[in-house]
Structure 1
Amino acid sequence: MAFSKLSIIIPVYNEGKTVYKILDKIKQVELIGGLSKEIVIVNDCSKDDTAMAIRTYMEMNPDLPICFFEHEVNRGKGAALRTGIEKCTGDVVVIQDADLEYDPGEYNLLLKPILDDVADVVYGSRFMGGKPHRILFFWHSIGNKFLTFLSNMLTNLNLTDIETCYKIFRVEIIKSVKLKENRFGFEPEVTAKIARIPGLRLYEIGISYYGRTFQEGKKINWKDGFRAIYCILKYNIFR
């Protein structure tokens, strides 16, 4: 199958200070395989100047293919991703946070197994080694590894990082998955559901991680960790 376009879905909430920086990074990326880009931004009812920052960027970069959608009320990252998945028109889809924790320069690493037709889905792992990794919170990393371990027990996968932002899908795969979670439960939910697709080829590749502190704007908290445990059980055992 020939691929011609990569859809980059960016859910944003109160990212007025960084959204233009991530768009600059995406703009600079030259994709392998001659792929074009489609940037799908979903503003989840931000309370800061995020919407104005995006519109200003679009006016200043009219040649960059940006599709901008807005939620009238705050619904959560998972809901924003569902909107982006529904609206995207590419052959391959990648999830990109609007902060600066993940490097768009690594899209081609994630794309290669799909373009080589050996993978349908690729996860970018922060824990595989070999890439820069900002040292931050001990218990946060333990929590991530526990969630991945619990998910792997129930999906029979051997992933190292289910909570990673960087997930890339063939479009027909992600559009076929009926997603329900509105917040950060997207990660364990989508992993549980793609694990049940017969014959799915799932790969994992090491990526860089430039994590933020809570003072720098990180939004996920301990409540989301408990929700992730609930989602792992719900979508694997009680489905």
Structure 2
Amino acid sequence: MDIDVVLPCLNEADALAWVLERVPDGYRAIVVDNGSTDGSAAVAARLGATVVGEPRRGFGAACHAGLLAARGDVVCFMDADASLDPRQLPRVAGPVLDGRADLVLGRRVVKEAGAWPPHARLANAVLARLMRRRTGVPLRDLGPMRAARRADLLALELRDRRFGYPLEMVLRAAAAGWVVAETEVDYRARAGRSKVTGTVRGTARAIGDMRRVIRETA
């Protein structure tokens, strides 16, 4: 069974070769270029990825454009910045493929110093606790590597197009009665500076988006 891998991308030219060369057989990379100015789209195309352009800026906008472009029965999501290893995608896709779960998230386990700044790790822990209280789903990380069936994801009718998209996915999946699970994946220092976790301001913006999603899905 072919599996699509959505990789939202904003100026990740330096990381794409490492990432795309590690995509497992049977997984099709869909790089969603979200307005890059460093030639990311050309790099991805040269390396054999399907490239989708999404001019509307926003993490959720890029993720959703990739979901709409996907054709596989199962769709995975992961960052394109080399912080996560595509060779571990079967860890999140496997339980979906064999019917043990409807949505699987990769719980990040730090493998390199500096991979997860303290302010970003704290923000993630707070949001994960809010999500657990809200849904009862025992997730400890709202990680970016995840997998679910394409048709089911489309049926959730996700609305957020900013940083709240990953949380909205979990909230709506839980409300729909999905089996949501997590499995450990390695987390490395990303290539280049993060647009979100690399700064307190970026992290605060992401938290604001996610809090808004929590309010709007109440």
TM-score by length of 1: 0.82
Matches within 5 A, 1:60-209: 66-71=49-54, 73-126=55-108, 132=111, 134-135=113-114, 136-162=116-142, 164-198=143-177, 200-209=178-187
Q: Secondary structure at the match of 1:145?
A: helix
Paired with 1:52 and 1:107, the residues of 2 have a C-alpha distance of 24
Could you tell me how far 1:54 is from its partner in structure 2? Answer: 2.0
Is 1:103–1:208's contact at 8 Å kept on the other side of the alignment?
yes
1:39 correspondence with 2:15: no
Matches within 5 A, 1:207-218: 207-212=185-190, 216-218=192-194
Could you tell me how far 1:96 is from its partner in structure 2? Answer: 1.8
Paired with 2:39 and 2:184, the residues of 1 have a C-alpha distance of 34
Paired with 1:111 and 1:190, the residues of 2 have a C-alpha distance of 16
TM-score by length of 2: 0.89
Paired with 1:117 and 1:161, the residues of 2 have a C-alpha distance of 22
Q: Secondary structure at the match of 2:29?
A: strand
Could you tell me how far 1:9 is from its partner in structure 2? Answer: 0.7
Cα deviation, 1:119-172, whole Å, max 9, x if unaligned, reads 111111115xxx73645422221111001101111122111012x111100222
Cα deviation, 1:158-209, whole Å, max 9, x if unaligned, reads 11012x11110022211211112122111111111111113x2221111111
Paired with 1:168 and 1:70, the residues of 2 have a C-alpha distance of 22
The amino acid that maps onto 2:28 is: E
| Percent of residue pairs identical | 23
Could you tell me how far 1:38 is from its partner in structure 2? Answer: 2.0
Structure 1: give runs of 5+ residues left out of the alignment. 31-35, 59-65
Paired with 2:97 and 2:149, the residues of 1 have a C-alpha distance of 10
Return the match for 1:11 from 8, 13, 16.
8
The amino acid that maps onto 2:205 is: K
* Structure 1 outlier segments of 4+, above 6 Å: none
User: How many pairs does the alignment contain?
Assistant: 211
Is 1:152–1:158's contact at 8 Å kept on the other side of the alignment?
yes
Paired with 2:185 and 2:113, the residues of 1 have a C-alpha distance of 12
Structure 2: give runs of 5+ residues left out of the alignment. 197-201
Q: Secondary structure at the match of 2:57?
A: coil
Could you tell me how far 1:232 is from its partner in structure 2? Answer: 1.9
Paired with 2:45 and 2:165, the residues of 1 have a C-alpha distance of 27
Is 2:32–2:53's contact at 8 Å kept on the other side of the alignment?
yes
Q: Quote the RMSD (CA, aligned, Å).
A: 1.8
What is residue 53 of structure 1 aligned with on the other side?
A: 43
Return the match for 1:219 from 179, 186, 195.
195
Paired with 1:186 and 1:234, the residues of 2 have a C-alpha distance of 12
What is residue 63 of structure 1 aligned with on the other side?
A: none
